[in-house]
């Protein structure tokens, strides 16, 4: 497949940005990851077999850049700062913030399948191809990720009830 860079950006920009935003502590970091991913695509001399192959490659590269960012000391500092930002007091926004924080708290091996399944609405087969892991492993990580999210959110609710 002949790569048309502009078309690839237009077609996949939302997916890349959503994944980056879900894995980064702030909008600026997500935008940095977004730029790095598409800069890497621009410099890439790889021939992609199909649009799905390109999409999977972009997802992997996005997750890898996010992983690098999360390892840095600057990320940990920003995460501490953004955790203290007050939200509006509506129940929906509090729930959304709690779920987002809980997903960010998950280990990468559980967070990536959860994000791709629920936010990108990818099937287990598509996630398997994108992450280059067995489909049964995807299902296991989804199950374990859901259990971990349930425990994190349950703990959060208990702590906020005590306050």
Domain ranges of the chain: 1-85, 89-163
| C-alpha closest to that of 104 among 76, 135, 85 | 76
pTM for the model stands at 0.71
Residue 87, classified by CB atoms within 10 Å of its CB into exposed (0-12), middle (13-18) or buried (19+), is: exposed
Give the gyration radius of the chain's Cα atoms. 17
* pLDDT attached to residue 70: 78
Domains 1-85 and 89-163 share a fold: no
Helix (H) or strand (E) run with residue 37 in it: helix 27-43
Spell out the CATH class of 1-85. mainly alpha
Question: In the structure encoding, which two tokens stand for residue 19, read together?
Answer: 């994944």
* Distance in angstroms (rounded) separating the CA atoms of residues 34 and 2: 22
Mean pLDDT of the chain, nearest integer: 83
Spell out the CATH class of 89-163. mainly alpha
Question: In the structure encoding, which two tokens stand for residue 101, read together?
Answer: 């924080």
- pLDDT tens-digit map of 120-146: 889 999 999 999 999 999 999 999 999
- pLDDT tens-digit map of 26-78: 889 999 999 999 999 999 888 899 999 999 999 999 999 988 887 775 656 65
* Distance in angstroms (rounded) separating the CA atoms of residues 119 and 114: 8
């Amino acid at each position: 497949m002949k790569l048309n860079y502009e078309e690839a950006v237009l077609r996949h920009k939302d997916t890349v940005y959503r994944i980056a935003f879900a894995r980064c502590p702030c909008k600026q970091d997500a935008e940095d990851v977004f730029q790095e991913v598409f800069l890497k695509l621009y410099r890439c001399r790889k021939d992609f077999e199909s649009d799905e192959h390109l999409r999977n490659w972009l997802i992997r590269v996005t997750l890898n850049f996010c992983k690098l960012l999360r390892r840095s000391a600057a990320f940990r500092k920003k995460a501490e700062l953004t955790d203290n930002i007050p939200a509006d007091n509506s129940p929906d926004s509090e729930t959304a913030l709690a779920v987002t924080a809980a997903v960010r708290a998950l280990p990468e091996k559980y967070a990536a399948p959860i994000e791709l399944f629920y936010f990108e609405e990818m099937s287990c087969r598509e996630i398997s191809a994108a992450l280059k892991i067995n489909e049964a492993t995807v299902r296991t990580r989804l199950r374990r990720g859901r259990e971990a999210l349930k425990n994190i959110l349950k703990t959060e609710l208990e702590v906020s009830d005590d306050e």
